[in-house]
Amino acid sequence: MTLALCFHCGGIKFGALCPCEHCGVGATSDISLDIVFSDHHYAVETLEEFGAVIREINRHTTDPMTRFWAFIAYVATYHPSILAAEMPEEMRARVENILRQCTLPTVTLRPTYR
C-alpha cells in the first residue's frame, strides 16, 4: 500500500491517487506530482516533514490555489532536485508574501526504504 502526502492538509494518506482520509480532498490532477510525494520516492518521515510545511503554509492563507502554489514554490526553492516551479505569474507575489510569513520547518530528503 502506498503512503502519500496530502497536498491539502499535509496529512499522510493511503494511496497517492486516492482522496485523503483526513480531509476528504482528492489528489492533484498531476499524477506524477502525486507519485513523487509518496513512499515510492521518499521515506514516510520525509513525507511527514513536507506535511509540516503544508500545515505551516495553511496557517497563513485559506485559499487553496495559494496554498498549493506556495508549497510548490517552497519545494522548487529549497529542494530543487525534486521539481522546478512554473508558477502562474499572477500567483507569484502572493505566494512569495505567504512564504515570507512562514516559519518553515526543516525537511530532510530520505530515500524510500523500499
Cβ closest to Zn ion, residue 16 vs residue 96 = 16
Cβ closest to Zn ion, residue 31 vs residue 84 = 31
For residue 82, the SS3 value is: coil
* Residue where the block lists cell 500545515: 55
Cβ closest to Zn ion, residue 24 vs residue 105 = 24
Alpha helices (H) along the chain: 31-36, 44-58, 64-78, 89-101
Q: How far is CA 14 from the centre of its chain?
A: 15
Whether residue 84 contacts residue 54, with contact meaning beta carbons closer than 8 Å, is answered with no
Cβ closest to Zn ion, residue 3 vs residue 6 = 6
Rounded CA gap, 98 and 60, in Å? 6
Least Å distance, CB 26 to Zn ion, is 9
Least Å distance, CB 8 to Zn ion, is 5
Least Å distance, CB 14 to Zn ion, is 11
Least Å distance, CB 19 to Zn ion, is 8
Which residues contact Zn ion (rule: CB under 5 A)? 6, 8-9, 11, 20, 22-23
